[in-house]
Amino acid sequence: MKKIFLAILLVPTFVFSQNKGDYFFQYNYGQVIDRYNKDDVNPYSPDVQSEFQGRDDIEMGTKYSFGYYISDNVSIGFDYMDAKSSGSNAIEYYNGQFNAANIFAIYEMKESNGITFFGTLSYGHVEFSSKRFFIYDNSQISSNSEEGTSQKVSYGGGISYKIDTNLELSLSITNSILDDGFDGWDHGSGTDQYLYQSIGVRIYL
């Protein structure tokens, strides 16, 4: 996987002509949604997820990005995310927080009426801490994964609209895949996943 992302970062530098050459800074703020993993098999306490049975537990996260256009429709860069996460099942719930540092590539696929459609791919490192509690009395549960680190792969897309020469707004959604244990319990399935739905403000430097 690391070799793939080295290729993403290095190969376009030689293949594409650097026509655009714009640096940018971007701020994103949005929802972190823990996704259910059907492979976490436990008949007594299955995998937790955000909004289980209508529970209001979606958390928020911020992301800061710095990037550079290596061609008119391809940009690469680095980002840092600081966020919280939460989820539940019928027995227990968890509260967590995490930060992630990533390298990313963005491909702007199409523009129509001033709106640009884009796809994203990133690879990074996550540090997390999570605690689990019983729903019936809020007492803390002993966990086998209260703190940990993980490699992470994310993919997604969105739309953007340039409202000024150096200012752009965007809406995006990404799905991140990382090691099981992110939600405070390692079921042995290998992965956990979360969605990040956000609004972004980009400033071209």
CB 150 within 8 A of CB 129: no
pLDDT for 43: 61
**Distance between CA atoms of 124 and 77, rounded to whole angstroms?**
12
One-letter amino acid identity for 63? Answer: K
Per-residue pLDDT of the chain (205 residues; tens, 9 = 90+): 544 444 444 444 433 433 456 899 999 999 999 998 776 556 667 788 999 999 999 999 999 999 999 999 999 999 999 999 999 998 999 999 999 999 999 999 999 999 999 999 999 999 999 999 999 999 998 876 678 899 999 999 999 999 998 999 999 999 999 987 888 876 666 788 999 999 999 999 9
CB 25 within 8 A of CB 65: yes
